[in-house]
Amino acid sequence: MRVDQLLAEGLTRSFEFFPPKSDEESAVLDETLRELEPLKASFVSVTYRGGTASRQRTFDLVTTIQREARTSAMAHLICVGHSRAEMRELLTRYAQAGVENVMALGGDAPEDPALARSEFEYASELVELARDVGEFSVGVGAHPLGHPRSRDLVSDRRFLAAKLALADFAVTQFFFRASDYFDLVAQLGELGVTKPVIPGVMPVTTLAGITRMATMGAAVPRELATRLENAHQRGGLGEVRAEGIRAATQLCEELLSRGVPGLHFYTLNRSTATREIHGALFGTG
């Protein structure tokens, strides 16, 4: 089903994966997909970092999931490194394969500057192209703390509102305070945007993750970092992981209590943490 239709029916639960680069990674992902299948996700999304090889890996994974009817699949698309002709061809292939859902993103700058060329300046242009090519349900990204390249939060919200006006829904970058999400939704509402914004969740399960999350776009708040550090003093690595799962579960509980349209779990192609959180929230997993 289309993601916009799923959202219209009620709360969605979705998982995000990245395409494997090796036989070993493929085996891990296959196991993860089997372990998460009983949770009956509303849809899953598959990331894409750019380049011909990554483009094909994402296409293969999305269409395999769709073909095997495991669940509805959503393909990530990025502006960086693409001509309009290339992206039109890719969208056409997705439409022909029966894929109805795409996520239009700006994309990260590649390490090789030669791969950074693009005929798209903003993700909104990618949304418009998807509309022109097929009957897709189109999502866009949202950053509760503001996009790293935004000049300020005011302009960030203005650009996001314009982008969401063209799209069907948004999925946020992960965050760690429920207030950050609800502030974002309220600010969009003040700009006249009421499209669904699905909160993205990723637990911090290691002390190293405190630093890593900041490089991935969302700094861990001091109170959560202290909570994890205290857990390490109490019981070592295992207690840090358990505390991180508890913190993420509590975040989800607060989000659900205030009527979010769905929960989107960043899995990193592993199932255990997602299953534990999902089980605590919904009694399964």
Q: Active-site positions?
A: 16
Q: Show the tokens assigned to 10.
A: 């009620």
Q: How far is CA 213 from CA 175, 209, 220, 249, in A?
A: 9, 6, 7, 18
29-55 CB burial, b ≥16 within 10 A, e <16: beebbeebeebebbbbbbbbbbeeebb
State the amino acid at position 87 in one-letter form.
M
Q: Show the tokens assigned to 13.
A: 């639960």
Shortest CA distance to 89 belongs to which of 55, 124, 123?
55
Partners of 142 in the β-ladder? 172
Q: Show the tokens assigned to 76.
A: 């990530």
